[in-house]
Structure 1
Amino acid sequence: MKLMLVDDHPLFMEGLKYLLETHGISVVGTAGNGKEAFYKAKRIHPDIILMDIRMPECSGIDALKLIKAEMPDIKVVMLTTSDEDDDLFETIKCGASGYLLKNISAGQLMNMLSDLENDGVPLSPGIAARLLKEFGQDRPNTEKPETAAQNEQPENCTLTQRQTEILKMVAGGLTYKKVGENLGLSERTVKYHMGRIIELLHVENRAQVIACAAKMGMTEEK
């Protein structure tokens, strides 16, 4: 795992770098703002970027858009103090692979990064529920009927029954391993199906799949 850190607080970033390296994670670069992060990402192409949101010159959200536009294979996880819904929803829509608050423990961070390597979605406690509520709630439909039908048609008609079962379980918070146990499938098979689901729903990662499942009415609010 090659990882880059982006934060405008040097002391925090140095401490996090030390923590990650003591757990065997290679920190291949650091940046103090979004613009620097974008140019360094182009040069060193890390597997994962842990990035703050509130930074001078170029925010984490603006940097996320730039990075995903040119390097969509890089997984970007927001690591921030911002608990605001607007920041959460905007970053997920822009392709973030996860959203973590800085009040998580070191153990939680390491577990979530491990899950990310296995196509998991690192989300701080309570974040998934807020995503489901936001993207699953009914909104006034201002589109023409035929336009709305066209937008909904692909999402509702392209998934097989097995893919739908898997999507419901993943959106409900189950890991790939647990989904496999429930359905009598290997974890590898579940990962394959999720890859196909991501392609068919025209989203980029599992976090967006959760939001998409909520929009399709596949989840229940808790």
Structure 2
Amino acid sequence: MKVLLVDDHPLFLEGLQNLMSARGIEVVGTAANGLEALKKAGALEPDVILMDVLMPCCNGLAATRLIKAEFPDIKIVMLTTSEADDDLFEAVKSGASGYLLKNLNAEELFSMLEALKRGEAPLSSGLAAKVLKEFDSEVVLGKEEEANEILNQRQMEVLSLVAQGKTYKEVAESLYVTERTVKYHMGKIIEKLHMKNRAQVIAYASHRGLVDI
């Protein structure tokens, strides 16, 4: 796992980098704000970005939207002191794979990163229920059709795999198709289910019991 660390506090950043390196996790770089993170995401191609929310120049939420738009396969996990519901919900809507509070200990952090590798969504204690409740109120189909009545078999397969946290590349390999084909199917899924983004699709899949997250 290659990790990019993004935080505007140098001492915290250095300590986190040393901690992760000691555990054998490759830290490919660091950034002090969202714009710097965007540049380094393209240059360093990390698997995961640990991103603070509150930063100058470009905050973590805006940076997440920009990075996911250009590099959708990079997983972004917010690592922050902000417990504000608005920040949490906006992070998920922007494409973040997880949201962790800085009051967690080292073992909890590494456990969450392992969960991320398994395709799970790392969330600090108490946050998962908030996320599902928020999206449960948003993810509603006008006629309450079930996905299997709207989507074809291939789209259902793509939906299930994406909801498990797999990247487009991993989905393509599992289904023996190209990444371009997977992205096409995701676009059709979002369109058919009348949703805005992949985060809502994943929340929908969980709500309907198509996958456990």
Taking a change above 3 Å as real, the CA distance of residues 130 and 156 of structure 1, as seen in their structure-2 partners, is: farther
Contact 1:34 1:63 in 2 (8 A): yes
Q: Matched residue pairs, number?
A: 187
Aligned partner of residue 3 in structure 2, secondary structure: strand
**Partners in 1 of 2:54 and 2:46 — Cα distance?**
21
Letter in 2 for 1:158: L
Instruction: Name 1:33's counterpart in structure 2.
Output: 33
Contact 2:135 2:200 in 1 (8 A): no
Taking a change above 3 Å as real, the CA distance of residues 32 and 121 of structure 1, as seen in their structure-2 partners, is: same
1:42 is the counterpart of 2:34: no
Q: 1:158 aligns with which of 151, 156, 180?
A: 151
Taking a change above 3 Å as real, the CA distance of residues 155 and 71 of structure 1, as seen in their structure-2 partners, is: farther
Letter in 2 for 1:33: N
Contact 1:88 1:99 in 2 (8 A): yes
Q: 1:211 aligns with which of 203, 209, 213?
A: 203
Contact 1:155 1:201 in 2 (8 A): no
The one-character-per-residue Cα deviations of 1:24-53 (angstroms, maximum 9, x if unpaired) are 001000000001111111111111000000
Aligned partner of residue 123 in structure 1, secondary structure: coil
Instruction: Name 1:53's counterpart in structure 2.
Output: 53
Aligned-residue offset at 1:152 = 6.1
Letter in 2 for 1:211: A
Q: Percent identity, please.
A: 51
Taking a change above 3 Å as real, the CA distance of residues 138 and 46 of structure 1, as seen in their structure-2 partners, is: closer
Contact 2:21 2:27 in 1 (8 A): yes
- So what's the TM-score if we normalise by structure 1? 0.70
Q: Which moved more, 1:39-48 or 1:50-59?
A: 39-48
Aligned-residue offset at 1:211 = 2.2
Taking a change above 3 Å as real, the CA distance of residues 138 and 91 of structure 1, as seen in their structure-2 partners, is: closer
Taking a change above 3 Å as real, the CA distance of residues 54 and 124 of structure 1, as seen in their structure-2 partners, is: same
Runs of 4+, deviation exceeding 6 Å: none
Letter in 1 for 2:85: D
Q: 1:1-222 residue pairs with structure 2 within 5 A?
A: 1-137=1-137, 148-149=142-143, 157-158=150-151, 199=186, 201-202=189-190, 204=198, 208=200, 211-213=203-205, 216=207, 218=209
Letter in 1 for 2:203: A
**Partners in 1 of 2:209 and 2:95 — Cα distance?**
21
Aligned-residue offset at 1:6 = 0.2
**Partners in 2 of 1:201 and 1:34 — Cα distance?**
30
Contact 1:136 1:217 in 2 (8 A): no
Aligned-residue offset at 1:136 = 1.4
- Structure label with greater radius of gyration: 1
For structure 2, the residue ranges without an aligned partner over 5 or more in a row are: 165-173, 176-181, 191-196
**Partners in 2 of 1:138 and 1:74 — Cα distance?**
25
**Partners in 2 of 1:159 and 1:218 — Cα distance?**
18
The one-character-per-residue Cα deviations of 1:42-71 (angstroms, maximum 9, x if unpaired) are 111111000000000100011111101111
**Partners in 2 of 1:76 and 1:138 — Cα distance?**
22
**Partners in 1 of 2:138 and 2:29 — Cα distance?**
42
Aligned partner of residue 131 in structure 2, secondary structure: helix
Aligned partner of residue 137 in structure 1, secondary structure: helix
Taking a change above 3 Å as real, the CA distance of residues 99 and 138 of structure 1, as seen in their structure-2 partners, is: closer
- So what's the TM-score if we normalise by structure 2? 0.73
